[in-house]
Amino acid sequence: MSIHCNAKKEDIEKTVLMPGDPLRSKYIAENFLENTRLVNTVRNMLAYTGTYKGKPVTVFSSGMGMPSMGIYSYELYKFYDVEKIIRIGSCGTYNRDIHLFDTILVDKSYTEGNFAYEWSKKEEHVIEASAELNDLIENTAKKLGINYVRGNAFCNDCFDGYLDHLDDFINNLPKDVLGCEMEAFALFYMAKYFGRQASCLLTVVDAYFQNKSITSDERERSLNEMITLALESI
């Protein structure tokens, strides 16, 4: 069984929402779910299982970066027979057409890292989300009137905001990249490996070409909309 999770197999539902931050898992459990119970505390990577409008769901934090996401998504798919994982996270953008608080539904994740090579000795740097799951989320967004953009994201090994060569990094990004984050490639790769489904919703919290300060209320409202979209989609 898993060495990074102390949940019993029956404690984890077949559909999992994965924020990066353990405290965001706690926030979702306390503000969106009913009949919640804490099911994992190992390394304080908090996970909760409950119901949303009667639908069972687990919210399980992933931590930051592809190694952490790779571990938890692997164990959820392999040891807990999870069928669907939706990452719900935040991202930055260097795309002038994307703005603060936009919701991005990721179609493909591109990385320059070596996650795939280390895992399977394959030079793979682009991987797709589950088209079926993405279509479901897209249709739900349209029904609810939630604004979103659908496209590709870059999955970085380093936090790009700290790079000394940031201008070169921006200039080298593929033109179709809408946002930059650090986990989706590993999630999609593990889903493909196990023949399961995975998707990723991102809220833009840092827009390089926008000179605007962010209030805590604005950030919370935007994240709440993304969380609602994920929950309504399941």
* 3-class secondary structure, 158: coil
Going by the DSSP 8-state scheme, the letter that residue 214 receives in this structure is -
Helix (H, G, I), strand (E, B) or coil at 42: helix
Q: What angle do CA 188, 227, 199 make, to 5 degrees?
A: 15
Q: Which residue do the tokens 């000795």 mark?
A: 121
Q: Distance (Å, rounded) from C-alpha 55 to C-alpha 84?
A: 14
Tell me whether residue 206 is one of the annotated catalytic residues. Answer: yes
Question: In the chain, at which residue ranges do the beta strands (DSSP E only) sit?
Answer: 15-18, 34-40, 47-52, 55-60, 84-93, 103-110, 126-128, 149-155, 177-181, 197-207
The whole-angstrom separation of Cα 183 and Cα 157 is 9
**For residues 22 and 32, what is the distance between their CA atoms, to the nearest angstrom?**
15
**Helices 131-144 and 216-233, packing angle to 10 deg:** 120
Rounded CA-CA distance 41/87 in Å is 19
Catalytic residue selected from 11, 21, 206, 217: 206
- Cα 49 → chain centroid: 18
Residues forming the active site: 206
